[in-house]
Structure formats: C-alpha cells, structure tokens
Chains A and B, each alone.
Chain A
Amino acid sequence: MTVLSPILPPVAPVAPLAALPVLEARGLTLDYGHGAGRVRAVEDVSFTLAERERLVLLGPSGCGKSSILKALAGFLRPAAGTVSRRGKAVTGPGPDRIVVFQEFDQLLPWKSVTDNVAFPLRVAGGIGRAEARERAQAALVKVGLARALDAYPHTLSGGMKQRAAIARALAAEPDVLLMDEPFAALDALTRRTLQEDLLALAEAQGFTLVFVTHAIDEAVLVGTRLHLLAAHPGRTLASFDTAGLGLAQRGTPAFEAVVRDVHDLLFADGARHV
C-alpha cells in the first residue's frame, strides 16, 4: 500500500527497536455475503501493533472484533483496506500468526495433547519429530499441563483444552499471537486463573498479542492497549493505554476507573445505536 510510508513516522517513537509495526491494519473494511445480501461487519478500522504490545479489541457483540481477528489471521479478505505484517501485505493464513480460538474443538481430537502442540512445529516449522515433541512438552509444562502430556483432548476439561491451545500457539513461536475470546466459554473461576497465567507468561516471554474479548475487566487486565469498537458496523470508538494496569492493580481505584470509563464509552455508544 502506497500510503504506508507517510504514516510511519508517528508510529516510530512507540516502537523504537522495530522500524515497522509487527501488525498493521489500515482502513480495514470487512463485508459478509455477496451482492444484495452483503452485510458490512467492519468499517474503516486502523491500528498498529508494536513488538511486545498486547492489543485488545473490545466491543459489544456485532462490533466485528472477531472478524477483524480473522482478517489479521488471513482467513477473511478485506473488502477495502489492508493488513500488513512487518510491512508486507497479509494475503492468507500462515503459521507466523497462530490463532487461539474460543471453541474447544480447536485441538485435533485424533492427536494426543503433545502431538497437537508438536503438529504445527512439524508441518510449518519443518522440525523433526523428536525435537518437536520435546519443545511441545516444554510448552505444555509451562502452561501447567505436565500431567496431561499423552492424554487425548476429549479427556481434558475445558480449561485444560484452552491451556493446551495456548501452549500450541506459544510453542510455534509465532510473530504475533491472535486470541479470539479464548476464555469466554470457561467458568468464572477457571477464566480468572487462566487470565493470570496468561499474563505471567506474557511477562516472562514478552510475546506480541492481539486479544479479542467483550469482557471489560479482562480487556483492561490483559491488554497494554485497548481498541474500543462500536457495533453495526464495527467502527473505532477510542483507544486506551492500559499498560500500567495489570494483575497487581486489579481492583484498585485506578483500574476500576478505567473499567468504568470504558464501560461508559461502550454503553453511551450502544444507547445511541440500539
């Protein structure tokens, strides 16, 4: 895209190490369906993602946050605008952007947990069987699944499945991790533990993450930056810097103030459009 270079300078101070953003969406517009039945899901959304940043796409259902993630992953072709990774246009899905889905069936049922994690290393990374399994098991130990290495996915609980899916994404060492409401189908207790564990991993490994959620407190907790979206069609509402708000700040007045601000923004917009 030709307008890429003029908009680079304002981004540069945010990411002094990398000249180009890890991921950039510019004027992203997404449609579903064809012809007369065409529905606009997302309109003119732009953001950039620097190295080690955790960007949360937050909004009510129908704001197109999952569609944006699908476009970032390369599953969905934009009707207008571009997605680029380190300056190169994204044209299709690839193992440099591993996705963690909300659905539990993202683990392939015919492979053991270890083989599920080792599989992308083998097919995408070209790594040998023994080494792939070794790296897979190391990743599984990191997410706390040391006891379920050889289990088949159908024997795991929902929380364990999502842990395995996260290990699968971590082991592949993608350029950027894409997570589509990974904890939405879990009970409150499990969700909380997984949020904490994900944050700990993020601190330890410093991965770059795009995280989709509709839960405001989860967004403030997980993200270093929030990108708020309004619904029908999805449009950018505001952007929040929440880098200073993590586990330690949970429940503090500052944390709650941001949660309230975000809530008011989303709610005000919802009231206008419903």
Chain B
Amino acid sequence: MSESLMSDGSLAGRAGAGLRLSAGLAALWRVALVRRAVVLAGLAVAWQVAAVWQNNPLLFPTFTDTISALVEALAHEDLLPASIASVTVLAKGYVLAVALALVFVSLAIAVPFLKEVLLTLTAMFNPLPAIALLPLAMLWLGLGEASLLLVMVHAVLWPFALAALTGFEQVPETQRLVGRNYGLKGPAYVALILIPAALPSLLSGLKIAWAFAWRTLIAAELVFGVSSRAGGLGWFVYRNRNELLTDRVFAGLVTVIVIGLLVEILFRLVEQRTVLRWGMQR
C-alpha cells in the first residue's frame, strides 16, 4: 500500500490518504462493537501465545484447538442439545421466579406488614448462595429438573424482588398523581404508570437475576446432568473433564460465556430502545 502511495509521488496525496485512513479508523473505533471485538481478539491472541508457551494441551489447550473442539462438539457431539437443554431449564426457572417475585412485590406494596416479611426474607436469603441449597433440593425433589428449578428460583427471586420493590417505591410522586389524575386505577394504573416508571430498576433487576440464574444453573449441572436426556452444559463440561478431553471442557466454557454475552447484548438492545432512549437512565 505504501508502495503505491510512493509511486503516486505527491506528498500531499500521501498525507491525504493517511488522513483518510486515520479518519476511517477513528470512525470505526467509535463503534462499540468494534472496540469489543478488538478486546476479544486481543484476549484470543494472549490465550494462544500463553497456551503454545505452556505446551501442555492436557491442562491448557490453545485457542485454536478449543475453537476446533467447539465446532466439532457442535457438529458431532451433544454440545448443541446440551446448550438448548440448559437454556430451556433456565428460561423456565427464570420466568417462574420473576412471576413469583412480581406477586410477592405486589403483595408487599399493598400490605405494609408483608413488605416487612419480604424485606426480612430477602435479607436472609440474598446472601445464601443458591448452589448451597442444591443438596437440600436433591433430598426433597430428587435428581431432576425440579431440583434445578428450585435452586434457580432461589437465585432469581430475592435479588429481583428487591430491585422491583425499590423500583416501584421510587416512582416519582408527580407521575403517580398524574396517573391518578387521569382516573387510572388498579391494573391499568400499574401497567401504564408504575411499570414503565420503574422500568430502569426492573431491567437492572432482571439483568442481575439472569446472571445469578445462569451461574447457578451451570454450577448445579456440574453436580448432576439428568435434567433431561441431553443433560446440560454444566454436565457436558463435567463429563469431558472426566475423560480428560480438556479442549472440549474449554469449548463448553466458551459456550457458557458466549450465551452469557448474547443475553447481555439482548439486554443492551432493550435498554437502548427503552430507558436510554427515554433519558430515564444514562
């Protein structure tokens, strides 16, 4: 490229092309996705260099080995069904817990005493890692989806209930009065005033709850993977570790991370179209 610029001969043309190039790069750099991609590429390079340096595929496979194991496991092994199984169980537990939390929060707002109950329960259970409930869940509900659902509901319910309660309580008084002024009552008042007004807190609660649920699920699946015939992602990781297929263990972990990133992007998109666009959150 510099050859062709040299042959152009004119210094001004060279400087102009350089300027254009740097302006183009600056414009690219302003795209968040590009910056993220650069970070990821940097990490991948660092990983590859470190793994080649170590030269111990059994303990630390290279980035390229991991990617080929990932492709292989997706195409010929049960990584895809395992991922689908995990995401399905997660969705069930998440929806169940969020619905329960909304019922609890509604009751807590309606009855002052129940608010005390909810705050006490949240203070008690929030610090208790959901995975610590797994032995009890297995004792009560056996090895199966029900146990997974129990620990996941526990992981999601308390942080989300707390965020939702805070969100509803922080709805500005003026907006409440405006809603009542229009004659809104009951469910219409909640749906048209309270929920949109509390949306920043609700969304951040959903985001925190999602991360808790995903972590808890993968950890629980490491213990047993019989939630469905395919087992989950955690079970995939655990099984391959037992067979010392370390590149597949890494492939499983990469899948966990990628699904996490995809959901994060989904939340970002929702935030951009709602609370950020409305200036309710910076």
Residue of B nearest to A104 (CB): B174
User: In the complex, are the beta carbons of B280 and A109 less than 8 A apart?
Assistant: yes
With the chains together, A94 CA to B179 CA distance in Å? 10
- Of residues 244 to 282 in B, which have CB atoms within 8 Å of A's CB atoms? 274, 277-280
B4 at the interface (CB under 8 A from A): no
Measured CB to CB, the closest approach of chain A to B244, in angstroms, equals 54
A93 at the interface (CB under 8 A from B): yes
Of the candidates B178, B180, B183, B274, which one forms a contact with A108 in the assembled complex, judged by CB atoms under 8 Å apart?
A: B178
User: In the complex, are the beta carbons of B182 and A155 less than 8 A apart?
Assistant: no
With the chains together, A153 CA to B193 CA distance in Å? 16
User: In the complex, are the beta carbons of A95 and B182 less than 8 A apart?
Assistant: yes
Can you spell out 29 A-B residue pairs with CB atoms less than 8 angstroms apart?
A: A75-B177, A75-B180, A93-B177, A93-B180, A93-B183, A94-B181, A94-B183, A95-B181, A95-B182, A97-B181, A99-B177, A101-B177, A101-B178, A105-B174, A106-B175, A106-B177, A106-B178, A108-B175, A108-B178, A108-B196, A108-B197, A109-B278, A110-B199, A110-B274, A119-B182, A123-B184, A152-B277, A154-B279, A155-B279
Contacts of B188 in A (CB 8 A): 123
A residues bordering B, Cβ < 8 Å?
Answer: 73, 75, 92-95, 97-99, 101, 103, 105-106, 108-110, 119-120, 123-124, 152-155
With the chains together, A97 CA to B274 CA distance in Å? 31
Residue of B nearest to A120 (CB): B182
Measured CB to CB, the closest approach of chain B to A251, in angstroms, equals 34
Contacts of A98 in B (CB 8 A): 181
Measured CB to CB, the closest approach of chain A to B193, in angstroms, equals 8
User: In the complex, are the beta carbons of B279 and A101 less than 8 A apart?
Assistant: no
Measured CB to CB, the closest approach of chain A to B212, in angstroms, equals 27
With the chains together, A120 CA to B183 CA distance in Å? 9
Measured CB to CB, the closest approach of chain A to B181, in angstroms, equals 5
- Of residues 168 to 213 in B, which have CB atoms within 8 Å of A's CB atoms? 172, 174-175, 177-178, 180-184, 188, 192-193, 196-197, 199
Contacts of B277 in A (CB 8 A): 152
Q: Give the top 6 A-B pairs by smallest Cβ distance, nearest first.
A: A154-B279, A103-B174, A93-B180, A110-B196, A120-B182, A109-B278
